[in-house]
Amino acid sequence: SQNHGFVVDVDSIGDLAKTTHLHLNDGTSEGLAAPDAKAFSVQYHPEASAGPHDSQYLFQQFSGLIGL
């Protein structure tokens, strides 16, 4: 289920960041990336423990950004 009370107004960020994840039900941004700032975010909880590894790429991306 999805439950978020706050969303990013993607029109307000202009060229500073791009949407990387989109909520299919309501069209809101679930993830952003700002390559010039070496930053990215997701508006959900990517699991890093036992279970499916469908968000593992986020942790790999973060490790790459910090030089691991």
**pLDDT band at 49; cut points 50, 70, 90:** low
Yes or no: say if 28 and 20 are a contact pair by the CB < 8 Å rule: no
5 domain residue, yes or no: no
CB atoms within 10 A of CB 30: 19
Residue span of the structural domain in which 46 resides: 10-65
48 domain residue, yes or no: yes
Residue-wise pLDDT for 22-46, tens only, equals 988 888 899 999 988 999 999 887 7
Between 61 and 53, the more confident residue is 61
Say which amino acid occupies 1.
S
pLDDT higher than 70, residue 13: yes
Q: What is the pTM of this model?
A: 0.75
Supply the pLDDT for residue 18: 93
29 domain residue, yes or no: yes
Structural domain count of the chain? 1
